[in-house]
Amino acid sequence: MLTTFANECLAKTAGAAILLKGRCDDDLKCPPVELSVCARKDGKNKTYTNACVAEKQGAIVLARENCPEQCKPGGSPVCAANEKGTRENYASACEATLKGARVLHNGKCLAASKCNLRGFRVCATSANGVETQYASLCQAELANASWIHNGKCKPGIFRRMLQRYGIVKPR
């Protein structure tokens, strides 16, 4: 979600990516990119043009696709974070999204409260929308981060898009 912080230090402490200096509402212009997302606001799912538009309107992005209207029978189980941030098992990604939960990974939830430090490093989108590296899938799940792929995160893709549309200046 887009959040305005009082200063850069507070933003970094919260683990937020700094997109620009100034208020989100006043200065941030969303790029004219159509990458539909399903987001939830006021207990209802809605498809938005892109994540920036959804977050600027106060919605929480659930999935990087159009919102489903109904689910087909079957599907694979997923672990997802509901609106309260509690992890739950769902019969499918579609079911989780319909119920307003953000899918964390395929399969059942792993973490109770502690994780074994062994496992494969993963790249996941943290709850604040930033791609972050975690020591294991279990660690990512504990942080309510959505799995992207195994291994290190590839830096710069999001920042390059923001630069292209003039939202942030090149370093």
State pLDDT tens for residues 44-53.
999 998 888 8
Backbone CA torsion sign across 170, 61, 34, 2: negative
Cβ atoms of 50 and 22 within 8 Å: the answer is no
Secondary structure (DSSP) of 27-82: H----S----EEEEETTEEEEESSHHHHHHTTPEEEESSPPPSS--S----EEEE-
Cβ atoms of 91 and 77 within 8 Å: the answer is yes
CB neighbour burial string for 44-81, b if at least 16 within 10 angstroms, e if fewer: ebeebebbbbbbbeebebbbeeebbeebeeeeebbbbb
- Supply the pLDDT for residue 78: 95
- Supply the pLDDT for residue 24: 64
Residue for token pair 């990512």: 140
- Supply the pLDDT for residue 119: 75
Cβ atoms of 121 and 145 within 8 Å: the answer is no
Q: Which residues in the chain come in under a pLDDT of 70?
A: 1-2, 14-28, 112-113, 116-117, 155-171
Nearest to 63 by CA among 55, 72, 73, 51: 51
- pTM beyond 0.85: the answer is no
Q: Is 171 helix (H, G, I), strand (E, B) or coil?
A: coil
